[in-house]
Chains A and B, each alone.
Chain A
Amino acid sequence: MPWNKIYHLYQELQAYIGWTDDDARRVAAAADLIEPHVIELIDDFYEEIARHPDAQKVITGGTAQVERLKGTLRAWLRDLVSGKYDIDYVKRRWRVGYRHVEIGLAQVYTNAALSRLRRGIIQALERVWTGDARGLRATRTSLNMLLDLDLAIIEDAYQTEFSLRQQRAERLIAIGQVAGGIAHELRNPLNVVKTSVYYLVNARQAPPEKVRQHLERIERQVELADRVITALSDFARLPMPELHPLCAEKCLREVLELNAMPDEISVKLDFPPDLPHVLGDLRQLQIVFGNLVRNARDAMLPQGGTLTIIGRPLEDDVAITVADTGVGIPRESLERVLEPLFSTKARGMGLGLAVTRSIIDKHSGRLQVASEVGSGSQFTVRLPAAHDGSEFREGSGFQGSAKDAGA
């Protein structure tokens, strides 16, 4: 733990609420007054917990645990009125929040518990106070400030630890999903390699051309496996795009040359001749449209259909729609299609659209999906138009950095 940083935060909060050494002295002076009531405060506290099932359920160790916890609370109360609020004090407060996450106590109970203790302490103080009303008010204020500071540190600890654990859990889930996707994509080529090797080792009569065929097959499948790994590492570190004005129609035509459509699919391109250029990274946009075009094709096979690609100016952008007449995406999948590792295909890791969206985001563009089961899907990519050779647009920073233009 970065204790110095946490202590620094504590000091900053002290200054913020106006805590001074006088407050520390006032609290310490009240210690003797509060001490005789500590036991009843503690008993009341745990009786109250027993009345709340959600809070009670974290106490799994029965009476023995309650006794131990009472000891901890007693130490906490003594510490509170000790008048010494150094780095070790802050560490002990921080650990309370950490421990609450560890035992699975909902955060709301930290607030509620402190509120109950606060009321108990103040009431005890008021009952036994012998000085004047002004002194009581000042001591009460100091105690409240101290408790607020305690709460701030405990909650900060709680949130830090909680989100840390959540991130860890999410990372584990993601690793599991990635592993599952890779496992499947790698097992297919491995299966082929394994069976080819089996043939080469065991065949009773293997003519030379068969042997060569199998060796070539092994080579091809190893390459395929390698491509899976390349795709994955590409996704892990996609470079920032280098934006230049480019012709969307030309880009799409190149993509269609690289991804030939079978005879069952007819292709229609609709780009007005005066459509502005877009600002984009040609290589990355080819990945974007390659993914969209291949998805459209897969959605229409084996029946066939029509692939329509339309370019239109839209405000300061150019909108390019890739529409198919394929199977469509069911409503429940529509929200998930852009998520990494989500796939409805028999073969696929579910990276295509996630990469697509990631690239478009880095272009300060937008990706919209509309689909109807049975009639087809439309993916619309909005990219900033390049105006008269200018590579800038008001209000957002392109030029390879789109950090502040969050889609």
Chain B
Amino acid sequence: MSNIVSRILVVDDEVDTCANLSDILTDLGYQVDVAYDGTSAIELVKQNAYDVALLDLKMPGMDGLELYRRIKQLQSGTVAIVVTAYASSNTASAALAAGAWQILPKPVDLSKLLGLVDEAVGQPVVLIVDDDHDLCHTLWDLFRERGYRVCMAHDPAGAAERLRMREHNVVLIDMKLPSGTGADVFRLVRQANPTARTVLVTGARSEMEQLVEQTLSAGADAACYKPFDVPKLLEVLASLTKHEPPHADNRPDR
């Protein structure tokens, strides 16, 4: 991933604040887009898979919390850092609960912010392809807590779009999908993200056994069976990404 320029979205209704953050981040080699309100931010998010979004919490119209919720729906792999003059407010804690990564008080401590941005762009990206939305969201929480960035797709077409928009480190593929199979998705990964590792997933072990075996021999890295043995799944992820998850006790409970 290091050869790809990380993309950052800055959203603040203060034009000067945006300009400054943009200058500082651009100087450090990031590719930066700015938006002055939630609506135009969403337009940008629809077109680009940002690595990090810096969001001002209090903005006229759509606030940072609502904006983050929409971004998460569109690009759940974007890591949000929320900036606020009211660090102790309910909205700030609601943003954390909604999945925003960090809350920073305004005026921003830039060395801290830049450290966080650097950390965020280094987090491995996992794409989950599964038609079970609830499972996707549970895995999102679970993986996010361990320092993965998590993207989601619910069918082969959605997976193709995700794969086109950004590079992923690992793709979790459910073998049984609407309008296609996991084997189709596996082939898509091979074309679009050849370096991505793949984990096949199925709950219908006997029915899918043959397809799983075939895909494994075609180069898939691992297979996991539902219901998940969660520690095992996390272990597989960690070994495929060589990622050391942060200590769980430092994380806020979700």
Contacts and interface: CB of A to CB of B under 8 A. Distances in A.
Interface stretch (A1-9, A17-25, A198-206): A198-206
A188 B24 contact: no
B23 A221 contact: no
A195 B20 contact: yes
Residue of B27, B28, B86 with highest tally of chain A CB at under 10 A:
B27
A187 B27 CA distance: 24
Given A191-B17, A191-B107, A346-B60, 16 more contacts: A188-B17, A188-B85, A191-B108, A192-B14, A192-B16, A195-B24, A196-B16, A206-B27, A210-B23, A217-B19, A221-B16, A298-B60, A302-B37, A302-B39, A345-B60, A346-B63
B218 to A, nearest CB: 46
A195 B61 contact: no
Interface of A: 183-184, 187-188, 190-192, 194-196, 198-199, 202-206, 210, 213-214, 217, 220-221, 298, 302, 345-347
Contacts of B24: 195, 198-199, 202-203
B106 interface: yes
Nearest to B16: A192
6 contacts: A184-B85, A188-B85, A194-B107, A199-B24, A214-B23, A302-B39
B13 interface: yes
Q: Is the interface of A mostly helix, strand, loop or mixed?
A: helix
Given A191-B106, A194-B107, A204 B27 contact: yes
A66 B27 CA distance: 74
Interface in B18-54: 19-21, 23-24, 27-28, 37, 39
A214 B19 CA distance: 9
B17 A346 contact: no
B60 A192 contact: no
A195 B60 contact: no
Nearest to A205: B27
B104 to A, nearest CB: 11
B235 to A, nearest CB: 40
B16 A217 contact: yes
Contacts of B28: 204
B59 interface: yes
Given A188-B14, A203-B27, A204-B27, A195 B110 contact: yes
Contact of B58 (A217, A221, A346): A346
Contacts of A203: 23-24, 27
A198 B243 CA distance: 32
Contact of B20 (A184, A190, A206, A217): A217
> Nearest 8 pairs between A and B by C-beta?
A191-B107, A195-B20, A346-B60, A192-B16, A203-B27, A198-B110, A194-B107, A199-B24
A107 B17 CA distance: 55
Contacts of B37: 302
Contacts of A205: 27
A199 B22 CA distance: 10
A192 B20 contact: yes
A199 B27 contact: yes
Contacts of B60: 298, 345-347
Interface string B105-139: 01110100000000000000000000000000000
Contacts of B13: 346-347
B16 A190 contact: no
Contacts of B108: 191, 194-195
Contacts of B59: 346
A275 to B, nearest CB: 35
A206 B28 CA distance: 11
A14 to B, nearest CB: 57
B23 A187 contact: no
Given A199-B27, A203-B24, A214-B23, A220 B16 contact: yes
A214 B20 CA distance: 8
B242 to A, nearest CB: 30
Contacts of A183: 85
Contacts of A194: 107-108, 110
A371 B15 CA distance: 32
Contacts of B110: 194-195, 198
Nearest to A217: B16
Contacts of B27: 199, 202-206
A215 to B, nearest CB: 12
Nearest to A206: B27
A205 B26 CA distance: 10
B196 to A, nearest CB: 32
Nearest to A345: B60
Interface in B79-118: 85-86, 106-108, 110
Contacts of A221: 16
Nearest to A221: B16
Given A187-B106, A198-B110, A192 B17 contact: yes
A202 B25 CA distance: 11
A179 to B, nearest CB: 13
A183 to B, nearest CB: 7
A204 B85 CA distance: 29
Nearest to B20: A195
A213 B22 CA distance: 13
Nearest to A302: B61
A332 B17 CA distance: 34
Contacts of A192: 14, 16-17, 20
B74 to A, nearest CB: 21
Contacts of A187: 85, 106-107
Contacts of A217: 16, 19-20
